[in-house]
Structure 1
Amino acid sequence: MNRLPAVAGTFYPENPQQLHQMLNEYLNDAEATAKVPKVIIVPHAGYIYSGHVAASAYARLKKASDRINRVVIIGPSHRVAFSGLALSNAQSFITPLGFVAVDQNALTSIAHLDYVNYFEEAHANEHSLEVHLPFLQEMLDDFQIVPIVTGEATPEQVSLVIDSLWGGDETLIVISSDLSHYHQYAQAKLLDKATSRLIEQLQYEHIDSNAACGKVPVNGLLRLAREKSLAITTIDLRNSGDAAGDKKSVVGYGAYVIE
């Protein structure tokens, strides 16, 4: 079984050439620093809104294109309500750029946890994982993904899963989240700046779904980062009003790295 793209043609171009061109524009505008991140937190909106922000993190993978061969992607469910974490039996996820293999062995390694279950409905139409795949296909040579959709879950539960999949230099962790939703531009800037401070301070106890729609995976990461004494750095912070959106009602986007 393969998981078909759900938002190609809406969140990003369905035409492979147009998609390549858009990705290259975003990535070429971003700074590719020497330091390759272990973890990135990146937004999951339509590319015209959040593509530049996501690219600011993905561009930093350039020097690890042949080293990273496994990517753990954890994003929140937008379509289906459930408890715990959802896995997929799909052998690959398909995008306009081709097939991305799923590391089923990695999924099996966490499937014994009582809050982790195979639940295809959570994956079928979910965009919070899918939108990251073309960026990864553009930046990495040969890799498998470990796709996880979160429902209601505690920071402790999510941090345990991230820790068990942490791996070494071959593994990248991608946490998918947007920030505030539907505030006026100036208010959103203040709210998202405050949330970014909380993220950098690892204060997961104070981040709710109004601050970050991906609070479940974000807070799980922050809890683990605190345990491991890791530092998170904000590398980009914008909102849809900075791109193609109306400034009367915007969605916030941030990009963060653990190096």
Structure 2
Amino acid sequence: MRLTVLGCSGSVNGPGAACSGYLIQVDGERPVLVDCGHGVFGELIAHADPSEVAVLLSHLHADHCLDLAAMLVWRRWSPQRATERSPLYGPPGTALRIGAACSEYPGEVDDISDTYEVHEWSDRQAIQVNGLTVEPIKVNHPPSTFGLRMTGPDGEVLVYSGDTGMCDEAVDLARDADLFLCEASWTHRPQVRPEGLHLSGTEAGQLATRAGVRSLALTHVVPWEDGDAILDEAGREYAGPLQLVNQGQVIEVRRPVGGPA
């Protein structure tokens, strides 16, 4: 399984910094796009045919989903326009949320069913898509957010936290993952950040340790925070391989040699 970071900026994008978007590829299968925040679609074009990707949305905040409006224009009107619908999985209300963003007229909702086959997540009910088994687990972030546990054809496990505050469900989600792609939006200063909305570096490290993950990759750092400080916090709580992801980075996700299937 191969992960390409299309964007990893938290909450808002910036110059050369797209919001959340991650391309997952399995050999011999069409790619899967996990989240599609501001700026992600432009990055996607360099790596995959937008008319062929399946899309998985963790939740419906703008920084995780609203570049799908650009993808819909591509899929409808470009010379490489889609000839078939692609799967789009997301929380309840996905078709309404994306349809409202795509409509040309205020107060109306575009029918996106010509290009997307929309499915809504059901907590802990796994689906099969493009060579992956994906289990959505509801986590602690408004309004309705799912972390995604993705298992590849060789048993390798990539877990994406989505956005979440600390919760036992996030530990269940990440249990024994080969790679835990975990949000760590800010440093651990409870007095200056909302409680239960996002993770600090400290909390991401604690969560990874509780879950026994084999490798931790931090993402979703907001532009006004210090990524190195967040990484340092996580390293004080988690003793395994640790990194802060960067846009354009490619990570191979594999089971350890001799590990369980």
Q: Please, what TM-score do these two structures have when normalized by structure 1?
A: 0.31
Structure with bigger RCO (C-alpha 8 Å, 6+ apart): 1
Q: Compare the two structures and name the one with the higher helix fraction.
A: 1
Kindly name which structure, 1 or 2, has the bigger radius of gyration based on alpha carbons: 2
